[in-house]
Amino acid sequence: MGTQVSRSSYAGIDYPDSDGEPMAENTLQFEWIVTIKGNLEILFLDRPDVFVAGDLFWYPVEGDPKTRTAPDAMVAIGRPKGYRGSYKQWEEGGIAPQVVFEVLSPGNRGPEMSRKLKFYERFGIEEYIIYDPDDNILAGYLRAGGQLVAIDRMDGWESPRLGIRFDMSDSPLKIYGPDGQLFLTFTELELRRRELARQRDDLASQRNDLERQLEEQRERTRRLEAKLRELGIEP
């Protein structure tokens, strides 16, 4: 007969929020991590039941702080937004993140990525996306049964869970949301915001010019009507 372990048996176990390692090894990897995570947050901005995180420790097993990983970006559908020091699955209704992204750098290739694939396969990830920005290589895995199976062709592939589409027809990778909007870096988003603000200011200026011209026309009309009345003509 197995021994039943109560929750109190795990009291005092420490689940660190950090391992002291940097989030990224270089600026290119960092930009892609931030871009993917940030655009996913925008994508699910109106969904209070979707939690998006980047470089956050995920602990799938209570009482086992050594079994953990920190995806570059992850999406947990069915979990509320909010601050977390780490994602402890037993405190999240037992829900594992459904989608994870990894952005490769020179230091996380080969054996490290094989280890992560086995981890994600073991603990229930449904979609696993890997991008190498240095060589512009995209790979993906989709759960079939109890395994993560490699996706044959990623160019044009659409995520069943997220509805986003991957375009490899040009370099670098382009990711489109379900509405067809391109995932943009925060610099690109700010430039777009400034351009929209400039266009809005231009429209306001044009509207003011038009209103001024209309008022000048009304004043000319009033003067003309006054002249006609002086001549005994009712306009």
60-100 confidence digits (pLDDT tens): 999 999 999 999 999 999 999 999 999 999 999 999 999 99
**What pLDDT, in 10s, does the model give residues 40-52?**
999 999 999 999 9
End-to-end CA distance of the chain: 106
Tell me, yes or no, whether 120 lies in a domain. yes
Based on the fold, state whether residues 133 and 49 are members of the same structural domain: yes
Residue 115, domain extent: 13-183
Give this prediction's pTM.
Answer: 0.78
Tell me, yes or no, whether 61 lies in a domain. yes
Based on the fold, state whether residues 147 and 233 are members of the same structural domain: no
Based on the fold, state whether residues 85 and 200 are members of the same structural domain: no
Torsion angle of alpha carbons 143, 145, 149, 152, nearest 10°?
-90
Angle between helices 27-43 and 186-230 in degrees, nearest 10: 50
Based on the fold, state whether residues 51 and 116 are members of the same structural domain: yes
**What pLDDT, in 10s, does the model give residues 3-57?**
343 344 677 899 988 877 766 678 999 999 999 999 999 999 999 999 999 999 9
Based on the fold, state whether residues 178 and 200 are members of the same structural domain: no
